[in-house]
Amino acid sequence: ETGVTQTPRHLVMGMTNKKSLKCEQHLGHNAMYWYKQSAKKPLELMFVYNFKEQTENNSVPSRFSPECPNSSHLFLHLHTLQPEDSALYLCASSQTGTTSYNEQFFGPGTRLTVL
Amino acid sequence: AQSVSQHNHHVILSEAASLELGCNYSYGGTVNLFWYVQYPGQHLQLLLKYFSGDPLVKGIKGFEAEFIKSKFSFNLRKPSVQWSDTAEYFCAVRNTGNQFYFGTGTSLTVIP
């Protein structure tokens, strides 16, 4: 499979549940990102990993916990979420350190609904 | 704080009309600029990008964008839109720290 894949595509969870979102990139990139996409708001960058090291955490609540075991996989662990966390969560990857191919490639997203 | 502004939130056009979507950013350093498109039910895809050189960039599907450094702008244009161009369009800026900033998006509806 090519590009960036995300599973699951849809997730409904209660506020007391624990779940994880998975992202996998098949592009050989060295950077991966989690974004939150809500209606009428800019994409919100949540976390950035470069070479498996977290380089950015944009004041994201601790109920979101990222994990990057290798440069191809990225997880977002969720626990005790709030209804306002309902959104589309997008994963992206890019190649850093080069000048020609560093745009981000996005996955299809996971539509999360918190009840 | 750095930001990207897309002034048009929702645009409705008839087929064959010309399109221009505005994008302005606030960052004084060197930037890379992008336009992404999200068709209904699909994921974000790159439409075109500017890194350096000719400020007029041509992308896929007849789209182009012009980087005007003095105006901090990167407007997207298409001379004649089609119904299949109905989608959400996002402008994005990457700074020298590899940080990406996206605009709120512009929803384009093309009426056949």
What tens digit of pLDDT does each residue of B43-91 get? 899 999 998 899 999 999 999 999 999 999 999 999 999 999 999 999 9
Residue A35: φ, ψ to 5°: -125, 155
Smallest CA–CA distance, residue A106 to chain B, in Å, is 6
Return the higher-pLDDT residue of B27 and B36.
B36
Mean model confidence pLDDT for chain A: 89
Mutation site, B43, B52, B90, interface A, largest A CB count within 10 A: B43
Q: Is the pLDDT of residue A11 over 70?
A: yes
What is the distance in angstroms between the Cα of A35 and the nearest Cα belonging to chain B?
A: 10
Q: Does B100 touch chain A (CB under 8 A)?
A: yes
Q: Does residue A76 contact residue A24 with C-beta atoms inside 8 Å?
A: no
Is the pLDDT score of A43 beyond 90?
Answer: no
The pLDDT of A56-83, averaged and rounded, is 91
Q: Judge whether residue A28 has pLDDT over 60.
A: yes
| CA angle, residues A6, A7, A8, in degrees to nearest 5 | 135
For A106, the closest of B32, B44, B94 (CB atoms) is B44
| Torsion (CA) A89, A95, A97, A99 in degrees, nearest 10 | -110
Residues of B in Cβ contact (< 8 Å) with A106? 36, 43-45
Rounded Cα distance between A67 and A36, Å, is 16
CA B61 to chain centre: 13
Residue A75 has pLDDT above 60, yes or no: yes
Which pLDDT score, from 0 to 100, does residue A41 have?
81
A56 contacts in chain B (CB < 8 Å): 99
In terms of pLDDT, which residue wins out, A41 or B104? Answer: B104
pLDDT at position B1: 64
Distance, in Å, from the CA atom of B97 to the CA atom of A7, rounded to the nearest integer, reads 29
Which chain B residues are Cβ-neighbours of A30 within 8 angstroms?
none
Rounded Cα–Cα distance for residues A67 and B71 (Å): 40
Mean pLDDT computed over A55-62: 81
In this model, does residue A98 exceed pLDDT 70?
A: no
Please tell me the distance from the alpha carbon of residue A84 to that of residue A91, in angstroms, as a whole number: 19
The answer, for B49 touching chain A at a CB cutoff of 8 Å, is yes
Query: What 3-state class would DSSP assign to B17?
Result: coil
pLDDT of A92 strictly over 80? yes
Q: Output DSSP code: residue B41.
A: T
Alpha-carbon span A22 to A19, nearest angstrom = 10
**pLDDT over threshold 90, residue B33:** yes
pLDDT at residue B105 above 60?
yes
pLDDT at A42 over 90: no
pLDDT at A62 over 70: yes
pLDDT band at A99 (very low <50, low <70, confident <90, very high): low
Nearest to A103 among B34, B101, B104 (CB): B34
Cβ–Cβ contact B16 with A under 8 A:
no
